[in-house]
A and B are shown apart, each in its own frame.
Chain A
């Protein structure tokens, strides 16, 4: 059994230093990997990223993260990424990584993703340049996720996970006003997941949404935004060998 812990939208700042660490320190007994589904900071400043870094450093399980829109707010995502990587996290944007779980191998493909909406209720690449760029940016994120998942298909993984901040499906937005769904996710992410192949999709971003959903292709989707799960993380058990191994030795796909 492969055990995947995940949380998103922890929105850390100096005042929240140490609030998650006690629960995170229980992870080696509960999970093989910790996924962070973006919006790790409140404003995306290096100071806030350093708070997250201290919270996740040397946890005893691999940490894999994507950034969220909050982590871009200060327009220094590269600095935020570098600080998290310095703490040992794999920060993915259109990339994949394979981490060990005992004898098993867990592949994670990640992108922040973006909005645009869902089939029949989505933005189109038409009209003003800024509108076309909105949709093109969302498509580039989804294409990056698809490419990363295809890399994992060649990497002999026991489980493949798609990690995003924005949602791939509307299911997990239930509870959010339908009018803002196009700002919370895009079907392009789900299409990338279904065509690239994954055993689980994990996202955040929708604080008022619900935890459980599924893509059209049957991939289970979990919204792990901290306000949704109400805890420091949730754990998902996937079929596969290993469990309880953890440790280092992870590598890029």
Chain B
């Protein structure tokens, strides 16, 4: 007689979790659609350009809270605000 194995619980997919966090970033108070979240193994990579350091910090904080237990790598850039040296000639 063999002992019955306990039912296998499906592992929560990081893919779906990341997708829901992306939805929350867009539809929640941050209203952020310009950030890409990509699973990399057990961790998540954040890329994109945001308007301010405060915005970047808010996004990173929310993602780390939502994805606790998964390393979050942040490659978010802050948009440049300098003026250009020259124009592009379309003549």
Residue A132, interface by CB 8 Å: no
Alpha-carbon separation in the docked complex, A73 to B54 (Å): 21
Contact yes or no, A3 B82, CB < 8 A: no
Residue B39, interface by CB 8 Å: no
B44-88 Cβ-contact flags toward A at 8 Å (1 or 0):
000011111011000000000000000000000101111110111
Which residues of chain B (24-50) have a CB below 8 Å from chain A? 29-34, 36, 48-50
Of all chain A residues, the one with the shortest Cβ separation from B47 is A208
Of all chain B residues, the one with the shortest Cβ separation from A23 is B83
* Interchain CB contact (< 8 A) of B34 among A19, A23, A73, A207: A207
Q: Which residues of A contact B86 (CB under 8 A)?
A: 235
Residue B13, interface by CB 8 Å: no
Decide: A237 near B91, CB < 8 A? Known: A42-B51, A226-B80, A230-B80. Answer: yes
Contact-residue size bin, chain A (C-beta under 8 Å from the other chain): 35 or more
Residue A252, interface by CB 8 Å: no
A10-41 Cβ-contact flags toward B at 8 Å (1 or 0):
11110110011011001000110000000000
Alpha-carbon separation in the docked complex, A223 to B29 (Å): 27
Contact yes or no, A227 B49, CB < 8 A: yes
Contact yes or no, B81 A231, CB < 8 A: yes
Contact yes or no, A230 B54, CB < 8 A: no
Alpha-carbon separation in the docked complex, A15 to B91 (Å): 39
Alpha-carbon separation in the docked complex, A250 to B80 (Å): 30
Contact yes or no, B84 A227, CB < 8 A: no
Q: Which residues of A contact B79 (CB under 8 A)?
A: 10, 226-227, 230
Residue B8, interface by CB 8 Å: no
Residue A220, interface by CB 8 Å: yes
Quote the shortest CB–CB distance from A8 to chain B (angstroms): 11
Q: Which residues of A contact B89 (CB under 8 A)?
A: 237
Contact yes or no, A15 B55, CB < 8 A: yes
Alpha-carbon separation in the docked complex, A30 to B87 (Å): 8
Residue B11, interface by CB 8 Å: no
Residue B1, interface by CB 8 Å: no
Residue A238, interface by CB 8 Å: yes
Interface residues of B (CB under 8 A from A): 29-34, 36, 48-52, 54-55, 77, 79-84, 86-91
Other A-B pairs beyond A73-B31, A230-B80, A234-B88, 7, CB < 8 Å? A1-B91, A23-B81, A42-B32, A70-B33, A227-B49, A227-B77, A238-B90
